Amino acid sequence: MNRKDRGRERAARLRNLTLDIDATMDAWEDSAHSVHEVHRVAHHYNVFRDLFGHAHFYPTLRMSVEYDTPDGTANPVYYGNELSPGETPTPPDVTYPTTSDKLWSLLLVNLDGNFEDNERELVHWLVGNIQGNDVGSGETLVDYLPPLPIRGTGYHRMVFLLFQQSGTINFSSERRSSPCDSLSERSFRTRDFYRTFEDSLVPMSLRFYQCRWDESVREVFQSRLDIAEPIYEFIPNDVDRLGQLKKFPEGKTLTWLKNFMPKEPIYPSGGQFT
């Protein structure tokens, strides 16, 4: 250990050490270890399962996804961090290392947003035949739609997927009306998309964030989609409510207490109207 490392160690023990989080993240993502960690995290959040079923891939290409903010800074997308719908109203800046002669496809899907069919996702953005990392040069097959985590449904996983193409692809079957303001038109199944073009597409990178309802969701439903905002509410069963216990209850085990726990997750803000 050199003198500089000893100084950093002492500062850490005294809780005086300051780190540049961006530089630290950059160093971690440049390491070989990060590929396996990202793969593990994606498995933990069931990203691969809900995208491809039993298939998966190792994200070996580093992709940067950042949403601009009014103050000129950026909200980055990492691997499961939380961003609000109000922070992601417009398409993000997406960059990755490549050369101008290579072609790419970029996909953004909500794994939890299709309330008409639980076996399908909601496609929020799809761009194909991108030259290099100039996303604006590609064919916009599905225009960008801000995330729509419906009130009462908890956290939604928004996943960015980057595919490398072996050549120019005819994506006419995936093209939607523009602007695409129909949620039915945005019903999407990533595994079917990949199966259709698997001879020409290789998944190379992914990033994802989580979001939950805020006021901007209502605005998108009413102003852009021109439909009433759906709301889900959790209504507890009266017979399952736990009465007040004595300060030192007797014979009340954790197994007994488990009988009063909800059989499904109750998410933050789920069913709340305040």
- Over residues 145-157, the pLDDT tens digits come to 999 999 989 999 9
CA 42, 45, 49, 50 dihedral sign is: negative
Tokens of 220: 């998108």
CA 27 – CA 125 distance, rounded (Å): 29
Count H helices and E strands in the chain, helices first: 7, 10
- Mean pLDDT highest for which of 5-14, 104-113, 232-241, 250-259? 104-113
Is the pLDDT at 272 greater than 50? The verdict is: no
Cis check: omega of the bond before 179, within 30 degrees of 0: yes
Is the pLDDT at 76 greater than 60? The verdict is: yes
Confidence of residue 239 (pLDDT cuts 50, 70, 90): low
What average pLDDT does this structure show over 173-198? 96
Beta pairing partners, 125: 108
Tokens of 194: 């990949």
**Average model confidence (pLDDT) for the chain?**
89
For residues 186 and 123, the answer to whether their CB atoms sit within 8 Å is: yes
* Strand duo 64-68 + 93-95: pairing: antiparallel
Tokens of 272: 């709340």
Confidence of residue 225 (pLDDT cuts 50, 70, 90): very high
pLDDT at position 274? 33
What average pLDDT does this structure show over 54-61? 95
pLDDT at position 250? 74
Is the pLDDT at 271 greater than 50? The verdict is: no
Beta pairing partners, 156: 211
What average pLDDT does this structure show over 183-190? 97
Taking CA 175 as the corner, what is the angle to CA 123 and CA 126, rounded to the nearest 5 degrees?
A: 40
Domains of the chain, residue spans: 1-30, 34-224
pLDDT at position 238? 60
Provide the strand spans (E) within the chain.
Answer: 64-68, 74-76, 79-82, 93-95, 103-110, 121-131, 139-142, 156-165, 187-188, 201-211
pLDDT in tens, 100-114: 999 999 999 999 999
Domain 34-224 classification at class level: alpha beta
